[in-house]
Structure 1
Amino acid sequence: MSGRLTVALRRGPAFLRRSLQVRIVLSAIALGALVICATGWFLMSEIRTGLVDAKVKSSVAEAAHETREVETRLAAIPGTDYDTAEQVALLFEPLAELGQVRGFGVVLTGPVSDSRGAVPGVRSSPGLDVSSVPRSLTRHFVDSDRPSWAFTRVRIDSVDPSRRDVDVAGVAVGHVVVLPADRGRYVIEYLFPMQQEEATIDLVGRALLTAGALLLVLVALLTFGVTHQVLTPIRMARRVAERLAAGQLEERLRVRGEDDLARLAQSFNQMAANLQRQIRQLEELSRVQRRFTSDVSHELRTPLTTVRMAAEVIHDAKGGFDPVTARSAELLQTELDRFEGLLGDLLEISRFDAGAAALDVEDLDLGELARRVVDMTRPLAEQQGTTVTVEIANWPVRAEVDHRRVERILRNLITNAIDHADADTGVVVRVAGDDHSAAVTVRDFGVGLAVGESALVFNRFWRADPARTRTSGGTGLGLSIALEDTHLHGGWLQAWGRPGKGAQFRLTVPRRAGALLRQSALPLVPSDAGDAP
């Protein structure tokens, strides 16, 4: 059970993020609960204040009335009757009996402020706790005869076993009367419990709580119903959009009615139809372009072979030519080599565009492969007056890759670095691997790349400096083909550069074919660049 609860708590936030309807319903419930609580608190405050004020007014009025009745009875006593005990009984007992009938308690204290210093006597209704009289009210009548009242807790111990003891909030009202027998000041304190008021407040509270719960359920149901009506077409649109993204271009939304959602569905279907038409046009244009590139490349093979054979004959006989003709024969041979490379690259690009490229995977040591490529490009480096060094962090660095394609990637990167390298610092090739990836970086210290050019170097026929001479005879498609080769491996081919600080290209491939690549074994920004993380 605890395991299921843990899983539910773990999946809860993800479910809330994915479900707009649940978030709207919960937001409506939270807002409704806030409004209901505020309204309930305001109503309860007003009802409580009204009941208490009414109770205080009625208690003060009743106490004043009973005090006047007491004073009337005392005034009717003959002037020759000086029996204090009898007058105190005449004062207290009718009040106590009336209090039992009407539900209030009476405490008689007196005489107070006796010049003889006598301790005042205290009489109270049966079962009434004398401590229910608030001390503030008792202190008030020490030197004042004005009536006063205060809130208190009324505690009455029931003498009837069938009735419960009382301990509720109440109102205490005090009056001072003068007893004719001894001319003493006696304080009558009336204690009015607020049992009915508390019961009324409890009843209103339960009613408000029940009504609030029902209102929250109603708000949740209404919000769910409204959001369901609105979100159902949106969910249908999402599913149709997913099918369109998956290539099912004939999918359309069902249009019902004439409201805003129906017009939205019509607009969506119109957009899908336009997209389908444009995608079909683009597919046809792309197919024609790929076919044209492939056909032209193949058709140029035959005349190129004939021209090459003639050029080789001319090149071999250049010793008998004058200097100008001999130089022309050399230029012809060079440009034919470059043209043949361009045809080969165009054929390779057409295979990538047609989706016909495939990998021939084998387990290779990238460090050894990098060394072989460096040896192959050493004559070009010597021609440029620069050096190429290889640094292998951990030997061997093995990965499941296509030998031909990775070799072509490294050759493109290294020859490109030699073209742009500084003769004093050369080119540095680093190879490293970890448990999940293998990486090769090619670092040169030439002119570098301007801001934003690292995202353009892999575009077809793009050159950072069009006026710069290609000493390696490149076609402008090498890095584009290298990027496509890298994508076939599920890897990364990235570039970094700063003006005056050179550039670095990083090739990262997964150690296992088809594995998901998450990080690289080498940093993209070199440590000597000054802005490395």
Structure 2
Amino acid sequence: MRALRRARPRGLRARLLTAFILVTVLGAAAAAWSGAGSAGAALLSSHRERTTGAVTGGITAVAPQLTYPPDREALDRLRRAVGGDTLVTFGGLASTGGFDTALITDELRAAVRGGRRPASQRVTAQGRAQLLVGTPVMLTAPDGSRTPSGIEVYTLRDLAAVEREVDALALAAVATSAAALPLSVLLALLAARSVLRPVRDLRDTAGALAAGDLGARAEPRGADELADLAVAVNEMASSLQESMAAMERMRADARRFAADVSHELRTPLSTLTAVMEVLESSSADMDEDSRESARMAIGETHRLVRLVEDLMEVSRFDAGTALLRTEPVDVAAAVRDCLRLRGWADRVEVAAPAGIVLRLDRRRLDVVLANLVGNALRHGAPPVRVEVHRLAGGVRVGVTDAGPGLARDVLPRVFDRFYKADGSRTRTPGSGLGLEIARANARLHGGDLTAADTGSGARFDLVLPERDGPEEGR
């Protein structure tokens, strides 16, 4: 069954051609065989009538000269008049002339004795097809009535000539079927071309739409169902193009709004930050409640500043204006500098061989590392480990922790903006944009950032390729 399914034509063109050719050839073969069968039956019937007529004529020529009841000599005369392999019987008398009486079946004998007309049957004698004709000899009274005389005549006639004619008709039927094959192939190709051309146009249009060319349209041909389908596809494409244009305008407006708001907030936030620094320096002279309120205000101000900075960074990525300023960077040294500057050196294990130097944007690499390690420390569990491995054509930096890991439903969305895996954790020190910014920085370098669950924690892999020379932006 599997082999049959593999051998079955799969393409629409192949299936259409196969079906058309099969229908045409089978139709021609059926018509040819039907004609050959009808012609063969007509030939056999004509031969039977000629043979029966010849037998009847021979009997008619001799019957008036016979004495009744006939003796053996009369039966012999009648047999010689009919000719060929003939058997003439009357009661217990028979004139055989070498005729094989076993060829006469009970059905034929009953038909001859019970009827007034000749009967025939096709038999095989001596390995050849022959026609066995049986007929009763009738007595005609002066008033014209006819009664059976009791004399029965059975004769054999060779069917070889008729068989040859029937075989010739069968061969002609085969030749007709074979001749229909190239014509059916030509007709199938023409039909497939006319049917499949609109299908190919629709396929090409669908492929162009899938590739992002929302202006692609199919040209309706004719007034059939495929033309209606082409019109429906064009209407769908127009609706999709309008929807995508509207969505793109909304996305552009949202990006511009976020960038404008972030830019406008920088100045008041700078002022507010300065005030918070003054407030923080004088918090020692406050009472406990005021000091706690001041610490909360300072923390929220820092969080707001971080959020605005991250929003501005995201807006630069969205607008395509983020720049790379590359320089030779020792990746192991960059990892250790990132941990030391943030006070994480004693909380994080590092396995980073020295001497792995790539052209990178040091500031953006620091942002990625700070986001990954900070997330591992906040949401994971010790030990947090950073591993650096040399790759063929680049480097891989892996950050792992021993925390609860990443659930299956979390993995596809872990890099989404403002996504929180724990819905009850509504407020965190981060902006909710850190992982997206980290991945955007990795891709700006031509690399990527991926997340996985190890079964005993979370793992983030940063892969960065080697760069041949300085590159200032993308």
1:505 partnered with 2:459: yes
Amino acid aligned to 1:441:
G
1:355-370 to 2 correspondence within 5 Å?
Answer: 355-360=320-325, 369-370=334-335
CA separation of 1:30 and 1:493: change in aligned 2, threshold 3 A: same
CA distance in 1: counterparts of 2:295 and 2:14, whole angstroms: 80
Query: CA shift at 1:351, angstroms?
Result: 0.3
Partner of 1:200: 169
CA separation of 1:354 and 1:310: change in aligned 2, threshold 3 A: same
1:291 partnered with 2:291: no
CA distance in 2: counterparts of 1:153 and 1:491, whole angstroms: 92
Check conservation: 2:388, 2:398, Cα contact below 8 A: yes
CA separation of 1:58 and 1:408: change in aligned 2, threshold 3 A: same
Partner of 1:482: 438
CA separation of 1:336 and 1:25: change in aligned 2, threshold 3 A: closer
CA distance in 2: counterparts of 1:149 and 1:55, whole angstroms: 14
1:310 partnered with 2:275: yes
Partner of 1:99: none
Q: TM-score, normalised by structure 1?
A: 0.59
Partner of 1:404: 363
1:172 partnered with 2:172: no
Q: Which has the higher contact order (CA 8 A, sep 6+)?
A: 2
Amino acid aligned to 1:477:
L
Query: CA shift at 1:323, angstroms?
Result: 3.9
CA separation of 1:403 and 1:381: change in aligned 2, threshold 3 A: closer
Structure 2 spans left out of the alignment, 5+ residues? 1-8, 87-96, 110-119, 135-154, 469-474
| Pairing partner for 1:453 from 410, 413, 434 | 410
Query: CA shift at 1:453, angstroms?
Result: 1.9
Check conservation: 2:384, 2:399, Cα contact below 8 A: yes
1:345 partnered with 2:314: no
CA distance in 2: counterparts of 1:436 and 1:271, whole angstroms: 45
1:428 partnered with 2:385: yes
Secondary structure (helix, strand or coil) at the match of 2:463 reads strand
CA distance in 2: counterparts of 1:478 and 1:315, whole angstroms: 27
Secondary structure (helix, strand or coil) at the match of 2:160 reads strand
1:38 partnered with 2:26: yes
Partner of 2:190: 221
Secondary structure (helix, strand or coil) at the match of 1:474 reads coil
1:34-183 to 2 correspondence within 5 Å?
Answer: 34-54=22-42, 149-150=122-123, 171-173=129-131
| Pairing partner for 1:388 from 341, 348, 352 | 348
Amino acid aligned to 2:422:
D
Query: CA shift at 1:418, angstroms?
Result: 1.0
What are the superposed Cα offsets for residues 363-390 of structure 1, whole Å, 9 maximum, x if unpaired?
A: 766566545545555x3486xxxx4334
CA distance in 2: counterparts of 1:142 and 1:269, whole angstroms: 79
Structure 1 spans left out of the alignment, 5+ residues? 1-15, 18-22, 96-105, 109-120, 123-136, 155-169, 177-186, 515-533
Secondary structure (helix, strand or coil) at the match of 1:448 reads coil
Amino acid aligned to 1:461:
F
What are the superposed Cα offsets for residues 87-138 of structure 1, whole Å, 9 maximum, x if unpaired?
A: 9xx979x97xxxxxxxxxx899xxxxxxxxxxxx99xxxxxxxxxxxxxx98
CA separation of 1:151 and 1:411: change in aligned 2, threshold 3 A: farther
CA separation of 1:31 and 1:289: change in aligned 2, threshold 3 A: closer
Query: CA shift at 1:357, angstroms?
Result: 1.8
What are the superposed Cα offsets for residues 241-297 of structure 1, whole Å, 9 maximum, x if unpaired?
A: 479x347x6x77778999888877777676666656555554444444333333333
Partner of 1:126: none
CA distance in 1: counterparts of 2:104 and 2:220, whole angstroms: 88
**What's the Cα RMSD here?**
5.4
CA separation of 1:359 and 1:195: change in aligned 2, threshold 3 A: farther
CA distance in 1: counterparts of 2:295 and 2:309, whole angstroms: 21
CA distance in 1: counterparts of 2:41 and 2:358, whole angstroms: 88
Query: CA shift at 1:396, angstroms?
Result: 7.1
Partner of 1:413: 372
Query: CA shift at 1:481, angstroms?
Result: 1.0
What are the superposed Cα offsets for residues 146-197 of structure 1, whole Å, 9 maximum, x if unpaired?
A: 897546999xxxxxxxxxxxxxxx6235799xxxxxxxxxx97735232222
CA distance in 2: counterparts of 1:311 and 1:462, whole angstroms: 29
CA separation of 1:324 and 1:388: change in aligned 2, threshold 3 A: same
CA distance in 2: counterparts of 1:297 and 1:42, whole angstroms: 82
Check conservation: 1:366, 1:398, Cα contact below 8 A: yes
Partner of 1:465: 422
CA separation of 1:151 and 1:511: change in aligned 2, threshold 3 A: farther
Check conservation: 1:437, 1:508, Cα contact below 8 A: no
CA distance in 1: counterparts of 2:466 and 2:100, whole angstroms: 93
CA separation of 1:361 and 1:204: change in aligned 2, threshold 3 A: farther
| Pairing partner for 2:158 from 177, 190, 215 | 190
What are the superposed Cα offsets for residues 394-428 of structure 1, whole Å, 9 maximum, x if unpaired?
A: 997776654433332232122101112234xx223
Q: Which moved more, 1:362-371 or 1:201-210?
A: 362-371
Secondary structure (helix, strand or coil) at the match of 1:302 reads helix
Partner of 1:495: 451
CA separation of 1:510 and 1:171: change in aligned 2, threshold 3 A: farther
What are the superposed Cα offsets for residues 436-494 of structure 1, whole Å, 9 maximum, x if unpaired?
A: 675443332323344412223222222223554978x3222111212322333454433
CA distance in 2: counterparts of 1:288 and 1:413, whole angstroms: 30
Check conservation: 2:406, 2:458, Cα contact below 8 A: no
Secondary structure (helix, strand or coil) at the match of 1:349 reads helix
Aligned length: 418
CA separation of 1:238 and 1:468: change in aligned 2, threshold 3 A: closer
CA distance in 2: counterparts of 1:236 and 1:346, whole angstroms: 41
Amino acid aligned to 1:511:
P
Amino acid aligned to 1:358:
L
Check conservation: 1:56, 1:171, Cα contact below 8 A: no
What are the superposed Cα offsets for residues 12-52 of structure 1, whole Å, 9 maximum, x if unpaired?
A: xxxx99xxxxx544333211222234334434443454455
